[in-house]
Amino acid sequence: MKSYDVIVVGSGCGAIIAEEATAHGFKTALVDRGPVGGTCLNVGCIPSKMLIYPADRIVEIEEGRKLGIEAEVKDIDFGAIMTRMRRSRQKSRSNIRKGFKQAEGLDFYEGEGHFTGDYTLEVNGEKIKGKKVFIASGSRPLIPPIKGLDSVKYLTNESLLELKARLDSLLIIGGGYIAVEYGHFFAAMGTKVTILEMADRLVLPEEPEISELLKKALSRRMAVHTGAQAVEVKKKGDGVVVLVKDSKTGKEKSFSGQDVLVAVGRRSNADTLKVENSGVEVDKRGFIRVDHHLETTKKNIFAVGDANGQQMFTHVANREAVIVAHNAFHNASFEMDYSAAPHAIYSHPQIASVGLTEADAKKGHKILVGRAKYGDVAKGEAMMETEGVAKAVVEKETEKILGFHIIGPYAPVLIQEVVNAMASGGQGGQIDQGLHIHPALAELIPVTLGHLEEA
Ligand SMILES: Cc1cc2nc3c(=O)[nH]c(=O)nc-3n(C[C@H](O)[C@H](O)[C@H](O)COP(=O)(O)OP(=O)(O)OC[C@H]3O[C@@H](n4cnc5c(N)ncnc54)[C@H](O)[C@@H]3O)c2cc1C
C-alpha cells in the first residue's frame, strides 16, 4: 500500500488543496473519477452561464420594445450555443488534466475511490493511505422518489448539456435556482417551459418578495405553478406527462411536454466514498458533518465544499479549501465565516443575496429594513427598470448590515460592495464614505441603506 502525507478526493475545490500540499513539499495523492474540474466547470456554474448569456441577450432584445425599439430575434442557432459551451469545457478539462499529470509531487488517481478503513482508500483496485485526508467529493442531482420517474428518460443539469436540438416544450420539476436559471435559458431559446414547484413559492431561501417578483416576471415568458407537487411521471408518445397535486386543494392536474428536467436539489457524494469506513459521520441528509475548522468527526479528515452541505457555491467551496489547507499546512486554526457569503441566481431578472433575510435576522436581532426600487435611482429610471428592488437588513443598535437582497439587472455585480463592507466590519456608513458615480445603478445600494425603517 502506498502512503501519502495528503490525500485529496475531488478535483473541484480539492485542486486548491492538492496544489497547496505539493507546493509545501508534501507527498500528495489526488483522486477523481472524472471529469476533472468538478461540478462548476463541467455541469454547473460555467456551462450554465455560457448558455444563459445568450439567453439574456435574446430577452433584452425582446424587451427593447418598452424603450421604443422594435427589434426581432430572427434566428437562434441552438446547436452553436451548445457546441461553444461543450468545446470550452472540453478545453479546460484537458488543460486541468494535463496539469495534474505533470505536477511534481502529485500522484493523480483517475478513478472512483472509496474508504476501506481508517485513512485508507481504494482506487482502481489499489490501496492508498494518507496522514491527512481532504474530502472534496461534491454533490450530484437529487432524484426524488416520484412514481414512474425511472420509466422516462428525464433530464438533469448534467444530461441537458448534451442536447443537440432545441426542445419544443419542457416541464421542470423544481423551483430552486437551477430550475429558474434553466427555465430562463430554455424559454429564451423558444421552448415552451412549465415550472412545477412543490413549495408555495420559487427560490425558497430568498426573501418572499423576491420570490414573488421572480414569479411575476417569469410568468410572462413561461408557465409557473407553485404549490404543485409532482406525484407521477408517465410516458406519452414521444413525450412525458407529469401528474401534479395542488398543495391547497389536493386536486390533481396533468401537464405534458416533450421532456422533463428534474431540478429539486442536490445530494452529497459522501455515500459513493463510503466515508463511514473511516469513521466519518454524515448528517441525516447525507452531508458530511464538520466542525468550525471543517474537520470531520475523524481527526485529520476534513470535508470541504458541497460534500459538507454548508453553502453550496463555488466561491464558498474554494474559500473553505483555502482555509483548511492553510490550517493543515501552517498549523493554524482559522474558521470559515459564512456571514458574508453571497450568492447569485442568473434568472431573468437576476437575483443576488448576502447574509440574513428579514425573517432570519428577526430571530436574533432588533432590526431596521431599507427598501428601494431601481426606479429610485436615475440610471434605473433611464433603463425603464420598473420592477427591480433592493432590500437591506440592518441591526438597529449597531447599524451593522446583516443582509442585503437584490432582484433586477446586474444584481450580482451590485451586491459586491455590500459583501465587501460586510466582510470588513459591516457598517452601512462604510458604503456611504465612497462616492458613488452618478448616474449609475450602484447608487441603489446607498439609497436602499438610506431608507431604513423599523421592521
Ligand atoms: C447547474 C448548476 C449551476 C451552478 N451554478 C453556480 C454558480 O453560478 N455559482 C456558484 O457559485 N455555484 C454554482 N453551482 C454550485 C457549484 O457548482 C458547486 O457548489 C461547486 O462546484 C462545488 O464544488 P466542490 O469542489 O465542493 O465539488 P465538485 O466540484 O462537485 O467536485 C467534486 C469532485 O469529486 C469527484 N468525486 C466525487 N465522488 C468521488 C469518488 N467517490 N471518487 C473519486 N472522485 C469523486 C467528482 O468527480 C468531482 O470532480 C452550480 C451547480 C449546478 C449543479
pLDDT at site 430 = 86
Q: Beta strands 28-32 and 2-9: pairing type?
A: parallel
C-alpha 392 to ligand 1 mean position (Å): 30
CA distance 150 to 274: 25
The alpha carbon torsion through 11, 15, 18, 20 (nearest 10 deg) reads -170
The alpha carbon torsion through 61, 63, 67, 73 (nearest 10 deg) reads 30
pLDDT at site 197 = 98
Q: What is the mean pLDDT of residues 117-135?
A: 98
Q: What is the mean pLDDT of residues 168-187?
A: 98
| pLDDT value at 428 more than 90 | no
Q: List the beta bridge partners of residue 193.
A: 170
pLDDT tens-digit readout, 343-353:
999 999 999 99
Decide: 178 in ligand 1 pocket, CB within 6 A: yes
CA distance 52 to 63: 16
**Omega of the bond leading into 208 within 30 degrees of 0 (cis):** no
pLDDT at site 123 = 98
| pLDDT value at 215 more than 90 | yes
| pLDDT value at 429 more than 90 | no
C-alpha 12 to ligand 1 mean position (Å): 6
Q: List the beta bridge partners of residue 253.
A: 244
C-alpha 74 to ligand 1 mean position (Å): 36
Task: Give the pTM.
Answer: 0.97
pLDDT tens-digit readout, 104-113:
999 999 999 9
pLDDT at site 75 = 97
pLDDT tens-digit readout, 368-385:
999 999 999 999 999 999
Decide: 317 in ligand 1 pocket, CB within 6 A: yes
Decide: 452 in ligand 1 pocket, CB within 6 A: no
- Burial class from Cβ neighbours inside 10 Å (0-12, 13-18, 19+) for residue 258 reads middle
Q: Using CA positions, which residue lies closest to atom 1 of ligand 1?
A: 44
The single-letter DSSP state of residue 427 is B
CA distance 232 to 6: 46
Q: Using CA positions, which residue lies closest to atom 12 of ligand 1?
A: 313
Decide: 357 in ligand 1 pocket, CB within 6 A: no
* Nearest in space to 107 (alpha carbons), one of 7, 249, 241: 7
Q: Using CA positions, which residue lies closest to atom 27 of ligand 1?
A: 138
CA distance 326 to 332: 7
Number of other residues whose CB lies within 10 A of the CB of residue 279: 15
Decide: 177 in ligand 1 pocket, CB within 6 A: no
C-alpha 251 to ligand 1 mean position (Å): 37
Strands (E), 90-238: 106-110, 113-117, 120-123, 126-135, 139-141, 169-173, 192-196, 223-225, 228-236
Place of cell 409532482: 230
Q: Beta strands 389-395 and 401-407: pairing type?
A: antiparallel
What percentage of the chain reaches a pLDDT higher than 70?
A: 100
**Are 326 and 332 contacting, i.e. CB atoms less than 8 angstroms apart?**
yes
pLDDT tens-digit readout, 264-306:
999 999 999 999 999 999 999 999 999 999 999 999 999 999 9
Residue 23's pLDDT band, with cuts at 50, 70 and 90, is: very high
C-alpha 305 to ligand 1 mean position (Å): 8
Following DSSP, what letter does each residue of 346-398 receive, concatenated? -SSS-EEEEE--HHHHHHH--EEEEEEEGGGSHHHHHTT--S-EEEEEEETTT
**Are 295 and 132 contacting, i.e. CB atoms less than 8 angstroms apart?**
no
Decide: 38 in ligand 1 pocket, CB within 6 A: yes
438 is catalytic: yes
Q: What is the mean pLDDT of residues 144-167?
A: 97
The single-letter DSSP state of residue 46 is H
Decide: 13 in ligand 1 pocket, CB within 6 A: yes
End-to-end CA distance of the chain: 62
Reading the block at residue 327, the C-alpha cell is 490550517
Q: Which residue has the higher pLDDT, 310 or 426?
A: 310
Query: Which mutation among 39, 139, 261 tests ligand 1's pocket best, with the greatest number of atoms within 8 A of CB?
Result: 39
CA distance 217 to 219: 5
What rounded mean pLDDT belongs to the chain? 97
* Nearest in space to 119 (alpha carbons), one of 242, 332, 275, 265: 275
| pLDDT value at 440 more than 90 | yes
Number of other residues whose CB lies within 10 A of the CB of residue 59: 17
**Omega of the bond leading into 54 within 30 degrees of 0 (cis):** no
